[in-house]
Every structure is written in structure tokens, then in C-alpha cells.
Amino acid sequence: MADLKLYGFNMSTFVRTVRIGLHEKGLEYDSMPLEMGSEEHFKLNPFGKIPVLVHSDNTIFETLAIAAYLDAHFDGPRLIPEGAASVRTLQWISTMNDTVQRQLGMGVIFERLAKPHFGMETDEAVIAENLPKVERIFAALDAAVGDGGHFGGTEPTQADWQLLPTLYYASLCPDTQGLLAAQGNLSGWLDRMNERPSVQATVPQMG
């Protein structure tokens, strides 16, 4: 068994972000089963969220904290760059965790893709309310990534890995796939990221 153990389910965007980072650093890890809301879960994370990374006697939760831990303890490309690029990287991570997650992740993708998957009814009013906000999000992301660029600068960083899983689902969601495709820089960025071995190795199984 690997020294690194990652708890969570692979359909989770935040779990996929950590998985991509582990692959980018060339680290072996074990994906561990976890019953959400179980006693074991709350022992790993008192707030009942995923992912959780366990390494030796260390238990780390929250995606950004896990990235910082991996940078501090392991070689390989930095997930959070040093210097000026760190500011832009953290800016887009924060944007993802707040605005993008609320308006795109929960406001559209969860309603359209996740709820039916779990046998729940989609709330069309929530989607209709959030789609105009998603258009503004896509325009801002398109401008930020530029022509052939990345969210943290000239090389991929944790900002890219934080945004990619949600934008991957947006490319599959009928409400957003056309809006995403219309943004040339952003859709080009997604195409380039989808070609990376770390991204291909972590595509979630929807079944």
C-alpha cells in the first residue's frame, strides 16, 4: 500500500483536484472508500467533508491545505508557485471556491447532472437564475486564461487543477456546454488540460 491515502469519491470535483495534483507530482496513493457522514468520516474531518489526505500520522483536509502539504513534503512541480505567481493562483482558487462553486457548480451542474444521478428532482428555477451569472463567469475566465495561458501564469498550477473538474462537468452539461464552447480561450485551455496524463488518469466514472 502507498504511504498516501486519499479519502473521498472520485466524482467529487475537489477530490479530483487533489488526484490531479498527486499525479502531477508523480506520487503514488491509495484511493480509500469512505461512507459519507459515518463515524470514520467525522474522525477524519470533523466537518464531514472530502477530500481527506492521510500521510503517516498526518491527516489533512481542505483541498488547498492538501496542496500546500504536498508542496512542503514532496518534490515535483509546485502546485502553489512561489513569488508573484502565487497571488494570481490563490486569487483564482478563492474565486473557484466561492463564486464559481456557488453559481456554476451548485447552481447549474449539481442541479442538472448530480441530482438526477442521485434520484433527486432538478430545480429548473435555480438553473434559470444562475445561467446569466455563469455567462459572466465564463467571460471572466476566458479573459484570465488568455491565448494559451493558465490561471496562475505561464505554467499550470493549483488554480488550473481547482477549476478544471468543474469546467469538465460544464462541458458535459447541456445548459453550459454551448456557452463554454463559445469562449475560445477557455475552451482551448480545457482542451489542452484534457490532454495531460494527470487529467486523463483522473476522469470520473459517471456510472
Domain of 39, CATH number, reads 3.40.30.10
Measured CA to CA, the distance from residue 94 to residue 174 in angstroms comes to 26
Residue 40, in any domain of the structure:
yes
Same domain, 136 and 114: yes
Domain identity same for 127 and 191: yes
Q: Do 97 and 166 fall into the same domain?
A: yes
- In this predicted structure, what is the pLDDT of residue 147? 76
CB 175 within 8 A of CB 115: no
Q: End of a domain among 50, 73, 96?
A: 73
pLDDT for the residue 148: 76
The answer on pLDDT for 140 being more than 90 is yes
C-alpha cell at 60: 489533512
- Among 41, 73, 105, which residue terminates a domain? 73
68 and 136 belong to one structural domain: no
pLDDT number for residue 206:
66
User: Same domain, yes or no, for 25 and 60?
Assistant: yes
Q: How many residues does the chain have?
A: 207
SS3 content of the chain, % helix, strand, coil (to 5): 60, 10, 35
Same domain, 112 and 88: yes
pLDDT digits (tens, 9 = 90+) for 73-128: 999 999 999 998 899 999 999 999 999 999 999 999 999 999 998 899 999 999 99
Distance between CA atoms of 163 and 54, rounded to whole angstroms?
23
- What distances in angstroms separate CA 112 from CA 186, 190, 207, one per listed residue? 22, 21, 16
Q: Percent of the chain at pLDDT above 70? A: 99
Check whether residue 115 and residue 154 sit in a common domain. Answer: yes
Q: Mark whether 60 and 94 lie in a shared domain.
A: no
31 and 128 both lie in a single domain? no
Which pLDDT score is estimated for 205? 78
User: How many domains are there within the chain?
Assistant: 2
Asked if pLDDT for residue 32 goes beyond 80, the answer is: yes
pLDDT at residue 79, rounded to an integer = 98
Is the link from the previous residue into 51 a cis peptide, with omega within 30 of 0?
Answer: yes
Strand partners, 207: none
pLDDT for the residue numbered 95: 96
| pLDDT above 90 (res 2) | no
Verify that 13 and 93 share a domain, yes or no.
Answer: no
Q: Do 10 and 44 reside in the same domain of the chain? A: yes
78 within a domain of the structure (yes/no): no
Q: Mean pLDDT, the chain, as a whole number? A: 95
Kindly state whether residues 51 and 141 are assigned to the same domain.
no
State mean pLDDT over 134-163. Answer: 94
Residue 157 host element (H or E): none
* DSSP letter string, 59-127: EEESHHHHHHHHHHH--SS-SS-STHHHHHHHHHHHHIIIIIIIIIIIIIIIIIIIHHHTT----HHHH
Among candidate residues 37, 52, 73, the one where a domain is terminated:
73
Supply the range of the domain harboring residue 12: 4-73
Does 181 map to a domain? yes
Q: What's the Cα-to-Cα distance from 188 to each of 17, 39, 147, 180, rounded to whole Å?
A: 19, 43, 8, 10
Answer whether residue 207 shows pLDDT above 80: no
> 1: pLDDT confidence band, cut at 50, 70 and 90?
low
Q: What is the pTM of this model?
A: 0.95
Domain annotation covers residue 79: no
Q: How many CB atoms lie within 10 A of CB 10?
A: 13
